A and B are shown apart, each in its own frame.
Chain A
Amino acid sequence: MVAKRTIYSVLMGVATAILLFALVVYVAYALNLFQFPYDYDQGEGFELVDTILFSQLKWPYQNTDVYPFYSSNYPPLFHILPAPLVAIFGPQYWTGRLLSFISTIITTLLIGYAVYRDGKRPWIALLSGLAFLASNMIYHNGPLFRQHLTMVMFETAAVLILARAVPRRKTRQIALGFFLLILAGYTKQLAAVTALAVLAWLFLRNPRRAVLWGLGFAVTGAAIFVGLNIATDGEWWRQAILANINQFDPLQAFGLAKLWLKLHFALIIPAMLFATYELFIGRLSLYSVWLVAATVLGALGAGTWGAGDSYYATSIAAMCITAGIGLSKLFNSRAALPNSFYSQKFGGIIQPVWRAAQAGAIILVPAIFVIYGISTLKMPTNGPFFGEIASALNIEPNVRGRHFDIASYDVVGYANVGHFTTQEDIAAGQQIVALIETADGPVISEDAGFVLAAGRPVITNPTQLRNLSLNNSDTRPIWDGTALVDMVQNKDVALIILRASFFPTPFLEAVLEHYEPQEAIEMNGFTYQFWRPIPD
């Protein structure tokens, strides 16, 4: 018994060390990003612009057919939360990055608490929480000025409360759970997946309550929706809903699904087994329903244009909770399989497997966390601390010559971020800002941060215009790019900065015809091209 306990402690210690190291890398990455004053991930700058608008008490849902052709396509909450910080400290990227980072830390604590509450195994609860942050898909999106992880925090809090409040019929707590779901939905639309899972589970438990709570939830959500639409003169509907219907790319969806499985298989398997156990032998918990819904719908959503691996974040949170609870149950040596059709019919097979899993839990559980920690490894390979560790472990960089990510940057839809920024990147950003400052006229930049730093007005939100143009049709005209394209054709824009050419096709055609590339600056691994008007 003592030997078994020692083996367990040693293995759990190894798992803890690996996952704590992942936490150190995550915190170091976040601190590095807080100090980086420009766009790191595509689109961060426009999130900052939305926040600036809210800090000035203006809506970011605007008419994109007229100058400055700008609008947001995201719900407001994530931009409202850091607005006071932006009002005080100015347009700083760290404001939103800090908010997102704190959200991931809170989600980690919530996951740990959920596992402890149902599993009563503090060490497994700790590792389950750390496993969330260790995921490559959480790590590299966590400290970005993007709303996804804040949505996941609200979702997790809602699920945690509802999972306990619904069986106990605690009306106030159920109301709080649904309120958090509304907050999640107005942080990012994808929270609809969690709302569906919650309502489906509630329906299974009691259809009457599901209908009543569902009605209250829908009426409240719809009232906010209508209010937003009225306040923005219909732009909320056009910019946040109609423009967000994107094409599905099966290659992106399958590539990301394969990568998600490769990175997280060690916890996906116990999580899915526990959900299967609950479905066929026990009783479905909200966590299991959430896991399945978030995985299937998240995987489908991840395959749409503009989406990516962050769409798995909810599924990863659900996986950590479900796997953590399932693994904790293995240590309950007195637990027996409840009587059911299948445990009676196939008891000869199920019972020995169940007992073997219980007997082997002492090795199996820590081994799962060790394998998970190794299969999600990512770290910088240079610098005084990480460089030495990378060298000792013989880890070679596979990204930008200074970072190792086991996921690599080769899968379509996997955000090519996670590496640390350098002083050279900041110097390159300053060069770009200097070029904007010397421009004799309006500047259009694919990343907004440089324009903001130069004190120039931000013109257009390229991906939003692209979304609008792709969804534009004669039967549903939602974008008229005439005024913008005219500006380009008349060479009214002094400088156009392109990075990935995420603009509407008519705009790019006009640029190709009337502008020429004159310089290129590389920053953070991306090449920024500077297009100026072709002289007449």
Chain B
Amino acid sequence: MHKSIRPNFDIQMHGLIQVESIQRQTMKEEAMPQEHDSQETTDISQFFSESYTVSKRQLGIVLLLVGVAGFIGILAIDILDVGREGGIGPAQQAALAILAIVAIVGALLIPLGDKPA
């Protein structure tokens, strides 16, 4: 009797785990509908391989560097080009704002690790 219940219980548990697993998978797919390429990796040593994809961390690092370098570069125009009049104009202000946003977004992406960008 005991023996006959135990396997049934296992089967039921196994079934529940399977259902949960399918539900979780479905929820994940619904929440993230974009298709994944098969066998993706974010290992940078495989940069030019068929399976490499850029991670959120890598994208974050690039955006942070672009944002910071661009921001400094635009400020440097006024410092280096001393003959120029007018200071930081509205176009430069807009560019500084955009680059600051780029840098912040980049910094926020870095903790997301190896998830595909």
Which A positions have Cβ atoms within 8 angstroms of B?
118, 167-169, 203-209, 211, 248, 250-251, 253-254, 278-280, 282-285, 296, 303, 329, 332, 334-338, 340-342
Contact status A338-B47, CB under 8 Å? no
Given A280-B108, A341-B111, does the pair A204, B94 have CB atoms closer than 8 Å? Answer: no
- Distance between A459 CB and nearest chain B CB, rounded to angstroms: 36
Encode B19-33 as 1/0 by CB contact (under 8 A) with A.
000000011101111
Q: B83 on the interface (CB 8 Å rule)?
A: no
Q: B69 on the interface (CB 8 Å rule)?
A: no
- Distance between B54 CB and nearest chain A CB, rounded to angstroms: 5
- Distance between B99 CB and nearest chain A CB, rounded to angstroms: 11
- Extra pairs beyond A207-B52, A254-B94, A303-B91 (4, CB < 8 Å): A167-B36, A204-B54, A205-B53, A279-B105
Q: Which parts of B13-72 form the interface with A (CB within 8 Å)? A: 26-28, 30-37, 47-54, 56, 59
Q: List 23 A-B contacts (CB under 8 A).
A: A118-B33, A203-B54, A204-B117, A206-B37, A206-B50, A206-B52, A207-B52, A207-B54, A209-B50, A250-B89, A253-B94, A278-B34, A282-B32, A283-B34, A283-B117, A285-B34, A332-B30, A334-B26, A334-B27, A338-B28, A338-B32, A340-B112, A341-B112
Residues of B within 8 A of A250 (CB): 89-91, 94
- Distance between B30 CB and nearest chain A CB, rounded to angstroms: 4
Most chain B CB neighbours (cut-off 10 Å) among A206, A207, A296: A206
Residues of A within 8 A of B27 (CB): 334-336
Most chain B CB neighbours (cut-off 10 Å) among A118, A253, A335: A335
Contact status A340-B115, CB under 8 Å? yes
Residues of B within 8 A of A205 (CB): 37, 53-54, 116
Q: B98 on the interface (CB 8 Å rule)?
A: yes
Residues of A within 8 A of B54 (CB): 203-205, 207
Q: Which of A168, A283, A334 contacts B32 (CB 8 A)?
A: A283
Q: B107 on the interface (CB 8 Å rule)?
A: no
In the complex the two chains form, what is the Cα distance from A205 to B37 in whole Å? 8
Q: B113 on the interface (CB 8 Å rule)?
A: yes
Residues of A within 8 A of B51 (CB): 206
What are the 6 A-B residue pairs with the smallest beta carbon separation, nearest first?
A167-B35, A250-B90, A335-B30, A335-B31, A283-B34, A204-B54
Residues of A within 8 A of B89 (CB): 250
Contact status B37-A169, CB under 8 Å? yes
In the complex the two chains form, what is the Cα distance from A448 to B36 in whole Å? 53
- Distance between B82 CB and nearest chain A CB, rounded to angstroms: 22
Residues of B within 8 A of A282 (CB): 31-32, 34
When C-beta atoms are compared, the residue in chain A nearest to B35 turns out to be A167
Residues of A within 8 A of B91 (CB): 248, 250, 253, 303
Residues of A within 8 A of B116 (CB): 204-205, 283
In the complex the two chains form, what is the Cα distance from A207 to B59 in whole Å? 12
Most chain B CB neighbours (cut-off 10 Å) among A253, A280, A337: A280
Q: B109 on the interface (CB 8 Å rule)?
A: yes
- Distance between B70 CB and nearest chain A CB, rounded to angstroms: 13
In the complex the two chains form, what is the Cα distance from A336 to B27 in whole Å? 6
Given A204-B53, A204-B117, A334-B27, does the pair A168, B35 have CB atoms closer than 8 Å? Answer: yes
Given A279-B105, A296-B98, A340-B112, does the pair A208, B30 have CB atoms closer than 8 Å? Answer: no
Encode B74-117 as 1/0 by CB contact (under 8 A) with A.
00000000000000011100100010000001001101110111
In the complex the two chains form, what is the Cα distance from A284 to B30 in whole Å? 15
- Distance between A321 CB and nearest chain B CB, rounded to angstroms: 14
Residues of A within 8 A of B34 (CB): 167, 278, 282-285
In the complex the two chains form, what is the Cα distance from A206 to B105 in whole Å? 21
Residues of B within 8 A of A335 (CB): 27, 30-31
Residues of A within 8 A of B59 (CB): 204
Contact status A336-B31, CB under 8 Å? yes
In the complex the two chains form, what is the Cα distance from A282 to B30 in whole Å? 11
Residues of A within 8 A of B52 (CB): 206-208
- Distance between B46 CB and nearest chain A CB, rounded to angstroms: 10
Residues of B within 8 A of A167 (CB): 34-37
Given A169-B37, A335-B31, A340-B115, does the pair A206, B90 have CB atoms closer than 8 Å? Answer: no
- Distance between B44 CB and nearest chain A CB, rounded to angstroms: 10
In the complex the two chains form, what is the Cα distance from A338 to B116 in whole Å? 13
In the complex the two chains form, what is the Cα distance from A169 to B53 in whole Å? 14
Residues of A within 8 A of B105 (CB): 279
Q: Which of B30, B31, B32, B112 contacts A280 (CB 8 A)?
A: B112
- Distance between B103 CB and nearest chain A CB, rounded to angstroms: 15
Residues of B within 8 A of A280 (CB): 56, 108-109, 112
- Distance between B76 CB and nearest chain A CB, rounded to angstroms: 20
- Distance between B110 CB and nearest chain A CB, rounded to angstroms: 10
Most chain A CB neighbours (cut-off 10 Å) among B27, B31, B109, B115: B31
In the complex the two chains form, what is the Cα distance from A341 to B26 in whole Å? 21
In the complex the two chains form, what is the Cα distance from A336 to B50 in whole Å? 31
- Distance between A284 CB and nearest chain B CB, rounded to angstroms: 6
When C-beta atoms are compared, the residue in chain A nearest to B49 turns out to be A208
When C-beta atoms are compared, the residue in chain B nearest to A303 turns out to be B91
- Distance between B74 CB and nearest chain A CB, rounded to angstroms: 14
When C-beta atoms are compared, the residue in chain B nearest to A169 turns out to be B37
In the complex the two chains form, what is the Cα distance from A169 to B117 in whole Å? 18
Contact status B30-A334, CB under 8 Å? yes
In the complex the two chains form, what is the Cα distance from A205 to B105 in whole Å? 19
Q: Which of A118, A303, A341 contacts B113 (CB 8 A)?
A: A341
Contact status B35-A207, CB under 8 Å? no
Residues of A within 8 A of B30 (CB): 332, 334-335
When C-beta atoms are compared, the residue in chain A nearest to B24 turns out to be A336
- Distance between A303 CB and nearest chain B CB, rounded to angstroms: 8
In the complex the two chains form, what is the Cα distance from A328 to B41 in whole Å? 30
Residues of A within 8 A of B35 (CB): 167-168
